[in-house]
A = this chain, B = another copy of it.
Amino acid sequence: MKQLEDKILREGVVLPGDILKVGSFLNQNIDTTLLADMGSEIARLFDGQGVTKIVTIEASGIAIAAAAGIAMGVPVLFAKKHKSSNVDGSVYSTVVHSFTHNEDYNVVVSRDYLSADDHVLLVDDFLANGKALEGLIDLVDQAGATLTGVAIAIEKCFTGAGDRMRGQGVRIESLAAIEAMSEDGIVFRS
Oligomeric state, in copies: 2
Q: For chain A, give the interface size range.
A: 35 or more
Q: At the interface with chain B, which of A64-72, A136-144, A145-153, A179-187?
A: A64-72
> Which residues on B sit within 8 Å (CB–CB) of A100?
84-86
Q: Assess whether A76 is interfacial by the CB under 8 Å rule.
A: yes
Task: Please determine whether A86 and B21 come into contact, CB atoms closer than 8 angstroms.
Answer: yes
Knowing A19-B86, A58-B58, A110-B23 are in contact, say whether A66-B32 is a contact too (CB < 8 A).
Answer: yes
Task: Please determine whether A30 and B86 come into contact, CB atoms closer than 8 angstroms.
Answer: no
Task: Please determine whether B75 and A30 come into contact, CB atoms closer than 8 angstroms.
Answer: yes
Task: Please determine whether A31 and B87 come into contact, CB atoms closer than 8 angstroms.
Answer: no
* Residue of B whose beta carbon sits closest to that of A64: B66
CB of A25 to closest CB in B, whole Å? 8
List, sorted by A's number, 7 A–B pairs whose CB atoms are closer than 8 Å.
A23-B86, A23-B87, A30-B69, A30-B76, A30-B78, A31-B75, A66-B66
